[in-house]
Chain A
Amino acid sequence: MTGGSAATLLEVRGLTKIFGSLKANDSLDLKIGKGEIHALLGENGAGKSTLVKMLYGSLQPSSGEILWKGEPTVIRNPSTARTLGIGMVFQHFSLFESLTVADNIVLSLGAGHTLEQVARDAERLSAEYGLPLKADSHIGDLSVGERQRVEIVRCLLQDPELIILDEPTSVLTPQEAENLFVTLKRLRDEGRSILYISHRLEEVKVMCDRATILRHGRVVGECDPRQETAASLASLMVGSDVAEVRRKAADRAAGEVLLDIRGASLPPATPFSIALKDISMQVRAGEIVGIAGVAGNGQSELFNLVSGEVASRADAISMRGEAIGNLGINERRRKGAAFVPEERLGHGAVPGMTLTDNLLLARHASDTVAFQRLGRLGVIWSDMVTQATKRICDEMDVRKSAENPVASALSGGNLQKFIMGRELDRQPAVLIVNQPTWGVDAGAASRIRQALIDLAASGSAVLVISQDLDEIFEVCDRILVMHDGRIAEAGSAAEATREKIGLLMGGAHTERVADNATETGEGAHAH
């Protein structure tokens, strides 16, 4: 089963990609055997995405060659790759928001597929592989996790020989991830090869037959991950030992209630979003409360409600004893709250604006005195904004190519560190984070988690919404589970077991899809 014994499906020799003065890939060698699951490990910016894009034909190498089944091959564009039998599940989803699931899939297939047939196949395949989907939903109405299912199903429908998966499990529940592993193992046993990119070392250890480790665009190691420990893999990746998240003993004295949600309900905003049903919870000073759950069970709606993107009854939410349910985002910020939404680009930061501008945009209302001069004129105090940006970047170790780059120029992990730092810099009394480390490399993730723990230790209330159970267990004091717009208590991190949480959040997800089908069948045909 190991790569050495199997025939080589794809080989890469001396592959180099140069962007300007940056060597994103520096003479890489890589061999992927037939019927193996090959892990590609590396921090953000190590050059994994560049390599993968060249294999999929969306980038051309500067030098070096790619051999497909022993034949030197030029992969001119993604359709060449697909014709060869290379399928791809993207990290930054390449889906069309205004089109339906079936439309999206038809687009990536060759001629001779009817929409009806593709819709049927997709629904059958998604049911078979435990990735529930409705073919006529519009992508724009789906959560991040559901979009990923579309990507995976789309790739599988092309019947590829080599499947490239870029961070496939980051937003799946443990159950969903388990299902995926079963799927992937089945695909491997059918003789397909899989190139598996992940930051989750445990997963790689369980799943993969071989691993290639990249750092700064070079191959720094190749191993059998089953023979390694997670720590040894991580140190190969990062080049030094990853700082383990430190936290004090669990029995921090519970402080006063800082965030109190009482019976908050919210009708669905679109036919595809989830209604919030009678949500009640409290977060105390010094406490980190985690909300686990499958993607698309009302987490984004809850975040919108708490952050003030959607207003509710005044008394549904109170912060430090004050009713704030009807206040806007900036008013909540002024009262000491801070928010980090799930989407970094477009929600947490404006992609085309610089870091200083993004800092100012988030905090101009809550920190008027710090960043603006001349009273009502509100002239921007550039020096102060620049200083604060620098302070945040130093504090959170944000790595950037220029002094003040635009937000979209940062890698995912670095931008997330910047956004977290921007909010933490205010020392908020209440912090609400949605998916704090989604798609972030191990080093950045541990940095972000440590920052959350430090904030709580300083007496703030922290609410973490995450689909990463490891993360929830690592940082949270108390765990809640969200399912179908309701909240269930799973107990303290010490008491709660994965089984219990899995029961609370899993199983019923197929039911919800069925519900949607009957409730919103008309809405789906709105066009």
Chain B
Amino acid sequence: MGMFEAILLTVFAAATPLLLAAIGELVTERSGVLNLGVEGMMIMGAVAGFAFAQITGNPYLGALGGMVAGALFSLLFAFLAITLVTNQVATGLALTILGLGLSGLWGEAFIGVPGVKLTPIVIPLLSDIPLIGRLFFAQDILFYVSIALVFAVSWFLFKTKAGLILRSVGDSHGSAHALGINVARVRYLAVMFGGACAGLGGAHLSLVYTTQWIENMTAGRGWIALALVVFASWRPLRILLGAYLFGAITILQLHIQALNLSDLEFLPAPIYGLMSVLKSIPSQFLSSLPYLATIVVLVLISRNRRLTLINTPAMLGQGFVPDR
């Protein structure tokens, strides 16, 4: 039981940064902008979060700093891709590369320095519930924020006028412009929201997940978050499912790698057999599972015209130049 709970806790910790970054990117993409710079914005959030927490001694200010850093960094992308209408794919890739480089430079002073941990907030009574209590009600603030964000974004997109405007811009920026909607403003806001979320996800890595600064510590999580958005076919609640699924795969892969078969000989034969089969799967295959799952989802939704039509932002990746 104790071990099982511990494993689940690590799954939750692995899922939270994915969830944060993906829900932000979902909003960005719903407005028709494809920002491939998630990895870069996350790592900027990670280094800024660590630095702010280290300097002020307050991890909450650290989280805030990570969020602001992500948003500011995404502003660079927004200026290039929305105002100057550069190619979004190339600009996003450049943002990732720039972010990895800059964070390495600025983070050099923090290598090996002990960080400040964002401590769990234990909710009285609820956290005493057996089995789920400690999992759900004794977590750090970013966990609660990430879950709340998913529902808030879902409500915003599908139940508010502002959300409808955001989706309309992603569906047809020409028509939105003709209706008098300020396409560029909507997209700036959506990109900055995505940046803030990615920055927060990065801060989670350096304030909760490892509590130290390591160069390139995002280790491809930004790309998994991008895949997650497609996996969820641009629906917020499916992001929740996907983030925990992908988080579980990551953790499973680590545990299986660390598994020592000879320690397990006491287990009944079938379970032992299963373990040895899992152990024989190369870890590289397991770490590619999120991407494979995304491809399968892409194939499935592209076979259904209606699903594609209703959920995919038709303007995704296309710049908008008003004709005046």
Contacts and interface: CB of A to CB of B under 8 A. Distances in A.
A96 B168 contact: yes
A79 interface: yes
Nearest to A114: B161
Given A106-B161, A107-B165, A526-B306, A99 B171 contact: yes
Given A107-B164, A526-B306, A78 B180 contact: yes
Given A97-B309, A106-B161, A527-B311, 18 more contacts: A58-B177, A58-B178, A58-B324, A90-B178, A94-B178, A95-B172, A96-B172, A96-B175, A97-B172, A97-B314, A99-B171, A107-B164, A107-B165, A108-B179, A138-B309, A138-B310, A140-B310, A526-B306
A160 to B, nearest CB: 14
Contacts of B312: 98
Contacts of B164: 99, 103, 106-107
A94 B179 contact: yes
B178 A78 contact: yes
Interface string B280-324: 000000000000000000000000011101111110000000011
A210 interface: no
B94 to A, nearest CB: 25
Interface string B244-282: 000000000000000000000000000000000000000
A60 interface: yes
A99 B167 CA distance: 8
B174 interface: yes
A59 B324 contact: yes
Contacts of B311: 98, 527
B161 to A, nearest CB: 7
A526 B308 CA distance: 12
A111 interface: yes
B85 to A, nearest CB: 15
A135 to B, nearest CB: 14
B172 to A, nearest CB: 5
A153 B165 CA distance: 20
Interface in B157-211: 161, 164-165, 167-168, 171-172, 174-181
Interface size class of A (residues with CB under 8 A): 20 to 34
Interface string A94-133: 1111110001001110010000000000000000000000
A367 to B, nearest CB: 31
B48 to A, nearest CB: 36
21 contacts: A58-B177, A59-B324, A79-B179, A94-B172, A94-B179, A96-B167, A96-B168, A96-B171, A96-B172, A96-B175, A98-B310, A98-B311, A99-B171, A103-B164, A106-B164, A107-B168, A107-B179, A140-B306, A270-B305, A271-B306, A527-B310
Q: Which of B165, B172, B181, B314 has the most CB of A within 10 A?
A: B172
Contacts of A82: 180
Interface in B16-43: none
Q: For chain B, which range describes its interface: under 10, 10 to 19, 20 to 34, or 35 or more residues?
A: 20 to 34
A175 to B, nearest CB: 29
Nearest to A92: B174
B309 to A, nearest CB: 5
Interface of B: 161, 164-165, 167-168, 171-172, 174-181, 305-307, 309-314, 323-324
A249 to B, nearest CB: 47
B175 A95 contact: yes
A206 interface: no
Contacts of A108: 179
Contacts of A377: none
Given A270-B305, A270-B306, A98 B180 contact: no
Interface of A: 57-60, 77-80, 82, 90, 93-99, 103, 106-108, 111, 138, 140-141, 269-271, 523, 526-527
Nearest to A77: B180
A294 B313 CA distance: 31
Given A59-B324, A77-B180, A94-B179, A526 B310 contact: yes
Chain B interface, >50% SS class:
helix
A268 B161 CA distance: 33
Nearest to B323: A59
B30 to A, nearest CB: 10
Contacts of A95: 172, 175
B309 A94 contact: no
A111 B167 contact: no
A77 B183 CA distance: 13
A59 B53 CA distance: 51
Given A78-B178, A94-B175, A108-B179, A140 B323 contact: no
B322 to A, nearest CB: 9
Contacts of A79: 179-180
Contacts of A527: 310-311
B168 A99 contact: yes
Contacts of B180: 57, 77-80, 82
Contacts of B161: 106, 111
A97 B171 contact: yes
A107 B168 CA distance: 8
A25 B287 CA distance: 61
Nearest to A60: B324
Nearest to A90: B178
Given A78-B179, A103-B164, A111-B161, A94 B174 contact: yes
Contacts of A96: 167-168, 171-172, 175-176
Most buried by A among B175, B176, B313: B175
Contacts of B174: 94
Contacts of B179: 78-79, 94, 107-108
Contacts of A526: 306-307, 310
Q: Which 8 A-B pairs have the closest CB atoms?
A: A79-B180, A78-B180, A94-B175, A94-B178, A96-B171, A140-B309, A98-B171, A77-B180
Nearest to A138: B310
Contacts of B167: 96, 98-99
A88 to B, nearest CB: 8
B324 A98 contact: no
Nearest to A59: B324
A80 B180 CA distance: 8
Nearest to A96: B171
Contact of B309 (A60, A77, A80, A98): A98
Contacts of B310: 98, 138, 140, 526-527
A60 B179 CA distance: 15
Contacts of A77: 180
Contacts of B176: 96, 107
Nearest to A80: B180
Contacts of A60: 324
Contacts of B323: 59
B156 to A, nearest CB: 15
